[in-house]
Amino acid sequence: MVETVLVATDFGEASYRALERAIDLAQRYEARLHLVHVWEPPPLVDGALIEPTVDWGSPVEQAARARLDEVVDGLRSGKLAVTSTLATGVAWEQIIAVAQAQRADLVVLGTEGRTGLLRAVLGSVAERVVRQSPVPVLTLH
Q: What are the sequence ranges of the domains in the chain?
A: 4-140
Residue 121 and residue 123: Cα distance in Å, rounded?
A: 6
Class of domain 4-140: alpha beta
Cα-Cα-Cα-Cα dihedral sign, residues 114, 18, 61, 3: negative
Q: In what order do the strands lie in the sheet with 32-39?
A: 82-88, 32-39, 4-8, 106-110, 137-140
Amino acid at 91: A
Q: What is the pLDDT of residue 120?
A: 45
Burial class (CB in 10 A: 0-12, 13-18, 19+), 43: exposed
The structure's pTM equals 0.84
Q: Taking the chain, what is the end-to-end CA distance rounded to the nearest angstrom?
A: 25
* Span 30-81, pLDDT tens digits: 999 999 999 887 665 555 555 555 555 678 888 999 999 999 998 887 778 9
Cβ 111 vs Cβ 141: under 8 Å:
yes
Q: What is the pLDDT of residue 122?
A: 43
Coil, helix or strand for 12? coil
Residue 93 and residue 43: Cα distance in Å, rounded?
A: 16
The alpha carbons of the chain give a radius of gyration, in whole angstroms, of: 16
* Span 1-23, pLDDT tens digits: 899 999 999 998 989 999 999 99
